[in-house]
Amino acid sequence: MTFARHDHCDDLDTLPRVPAWVTSARVENLEDVAFLSGAALAHLHLLFARDDVPHALLRERLALRAAEACVAFSGRPERVGELRDAVHLLRPGDLPGPAGETYLSWRRAAERPVSVKALGRALPSLDPRQIAEWFDAGSGAPVSRAAMVLEATLTEAPRAEVPALILADAALAEALGWDHVVPLLATSLKRADLRKRGEDLRLAFYRAVVTSAIETMRVAADLTRRAAHLKAVAPKLRAKGAGDAVEMFLTRDVIAPSALPLPDRAARRLCDRLVDLGAIREMTGRDTFRLYGV
């Protein structure tokens, strides 16, 4: 596979940005916070319509952050590095552990178009009929619907925080007309927010949407710039299978060299070459069991 050479600097300058009156406003009442969240979501909607944004990669990176937040909610010590290791260094027959399972749930939820079947794949411990019931529990405007889905889920299953947050993000995505779950809520909600109900919960959701939209814009701009550079250097690669490897880096948070479609030594050389070119980064800081990503 070949990639055209482009200078994406001008394109990146046109990425939509949340205006300062959204990011700097300090409001407390439900109506005003709802208005700000709507403005933030409108800008995200424009961002997700861009072809130059690496959408799958962005969702993977947001899924990792959501998983980290959920693991912290549960009181476990694992953070980003441990979550990556738990999933990407798994050997056949190994189990990822509770934190790894949380990460896998978020990854699976975000990688396929929104549907009850896809949500069932992400949440295999739940009955599909229960997933469908909770997923349909919300109504009204997108953020209100998402809050109602989380409330319905946690009312019936108070310890099902990960499923509740995944279903809430799925309901938000469907209500907004997005094809995929975009993990937004978990990273900006506090654990205490999950115990709120009614208007208090909606207020927490509106605030979380504003905060997450701002951060998502920042992450998207960074990944879009990095992805553009990776595409620009791809024609310099001579290794057989390098094009498929580049495609993998453009869609996944991190990759172990052993997962690339090349012999082990060639895969390691390709990763080193891409690091030298500034196209990918080594994410662990280790000399062995390394993971690489954009």
Helix H or strand E encompassing 67: helix 55-73
CA distance 246 to 229: 11
Measured in residues, the chain has a length of 294
- Report pLDDT for 11: 52
Q: Is 238 left (phi over 0), alpha (psi -120 to 50) or beta?
A: alpha
- Report pLDDT for 21: 77
- Report pLDDT for 5: 37
Query: Would you say 246 and 230 are in contact if contact means Cβ atoms under 8 Å apart?
Result: yes
Other beta carbons within 10 Å of 65? 22
C-alpha 124 chain-centroid distance: 19
CA distance 162 to 275: 35
CA distance 146 to 167: 8
- Report pLDDT for 239: 85
- First-residue to last-residue Cα distance in the chain: 18
- Report pLDDT for 12: 55
The helix, strand and coil proportions of the chain, stated in percent and rounded to the nearest 5, come to 65, 0, 35
**Closest alpha carbon to 227 in 11, 51, 111, 54:** 54
CA distance 174 to 271: 37
* Cα-based distances in Å from 53 to 18, 225, 259: 16, 9, 24
User: Per-residue pLDDT tens for 6-54?
Assistant: 444 445 566 777 777 776 667 778 999 999 999 999 999 999 999 999 9
Please calculate the CA angle 14-17-18 and round it to the nearest 5 degrees.
Answer: 160
- Report pLDDT for 1: 38
CA distance 270 to 227: 16
**Closest alpha carbon to 206 in 31, 53, 74:** 31
Which residue reads 């250097």 in tokens?
233
pLDDT block averages, 10 residues each, the chain of length 294:
41 69 75 93 95 97 98 95 96 92 98 97 97 95 98 97 98 97 98 97 97 96 97 93 96 97 96 97 97 98
Q: Topology of 237-293 in CATH?
A: Arc Repressor Mutant, subunit A (1.10.10)
CA distance 64 to 83: 8
CA distance 40 to 214: 8
CA distance 145 to 163: 16
CA distance 42 to 204: 19
For residue 282, what are the β-bridge partners?
292
- Report pLDDT for 29: 85
pTM of the full structure: 0.92
Helix 242-249, helix 198-233: angle, nearest 10: 160
